[in-house]
Homo-oligomer: A and B are copies of this chain.
Amino acid sequence: MSYCLGIRLDAGLVFLSDSRTNAGIDSVATFRKTFLFDDAEDRVLVLLSAGNLAITQAVITLLTERLAETDTGRSLYGAATMFDAARIVGSVLREVHDQDGDALAAQGVEFAATFILGGQIRGEPMRLFHIYSAGNFIEASRETPYFQIGETKYGKPILERVLRPEMPLLDAAKCGLVSFDSTIRANLSVGAPFDLTICLGDAYTVTMRRTFGAGDAYLERLGRVWGNGLRTLFLTLPNPDWADTLDAAQEAAASTAAEARRAAEA
């Protein structure tokens, strides 16, 4: 399992990915899920991957091999728009499906690979896409400013409550890290190190990268403050009007029990 998150804010793009995989014996470092395409001056592209590792690695490899090609329909550095770039990723995914799909199906293995593609190409605003296993895709909007892939559910409530397009990049990064913290507490197949990538609007380069290892001091502090805060917040929640009824029932039960004890002792 994986967990990746891409957020499109007014100020820029924020990406987070875990690096754990169930594929077995290889080293964790081999399975980073954030891939940067930032060697061209007029653009920055960030690709996050989830799903079958053989499929996602094949897609990344083919995309990378074709960067130098001049065919604008094949090279991410040749694409005129982010929409075209998303189409290239989708079309490479379909190529891998044509190549491996039947063999995987024969083994009962689902063809599962999803991507988040975000970035900016000069002449356009920043854009963010969610690419499905079939190679089709959707784009983020102001109403839905983020996409998740992989193990998305545990970490979703905090995103829904907090993320807004107009919030500062730092806050979105912190919100994403809290979402990852909630996820790793519930699902062991999502794990550190986490890769954080931030791209400012109109910078056409990666503004900041940070990797958070297991036991990272800031991440631990964030999780601790959040957890303690949740418990404190919980204590401030209002009581329902049936709280008294429940109290009375408990008192009645306690006095019945005490009476029974006295009767037994007498």
Contacts and interface: CB of A to CB of B under 8 A. Distances in A.
Given A208-B242, A240-B218, A200 B249 contact: yes
A182 B159 CA distance: 11
A171 to B, nearest CB: 8
Interface in A171-189: 171, 174-175, 178, 182, 185-186
B161 A230 contact: yes
Interface in A212-266: 218, 221-222, 225-227, 229-231, 233-234, 236-243, 245-247, 249-250, 253, 257
A26 interface: no
B246 A162 contact: no
Contacts of A203: 253
Given A208-B246, A243-B170, A238 B253 contact: no
A207 interface: yes
Given A222-B238, A234-B175, A11 B170 contact: no
Given A162-B234, A226-B237, A246 B153 contact: no
Contacts of A250: 11, 169, 200, 207
* Dominant secondary structure of chain A at its interface with chain B: helix
A244 to B, nearest CB: 10
A239 to B, nearest CB: 7
A245 B153 contact: no
A210 B249 CA distance: 14
Contacts of A234: 158, 162, 171, 174-175, 178
Given A154-B153, A178-B237, A161 B227 contact: yes
Given A185-B160, A208-B245, A208-B249, A238 B225 contact: yes
Contacts of A230: 158, 161-162, 230, 233
A198 interface: yes
Contacts of A241: 218
Nearest to A160: B185
Interface in A143-160: 153-154, 156-158, 160
11 contacts: A11-B250, A156-B186, A157-B186, A160-B186, A178-B237, A208-B245, A210-B240, A218-B240, A221-B238, A226-B237, A229-B236
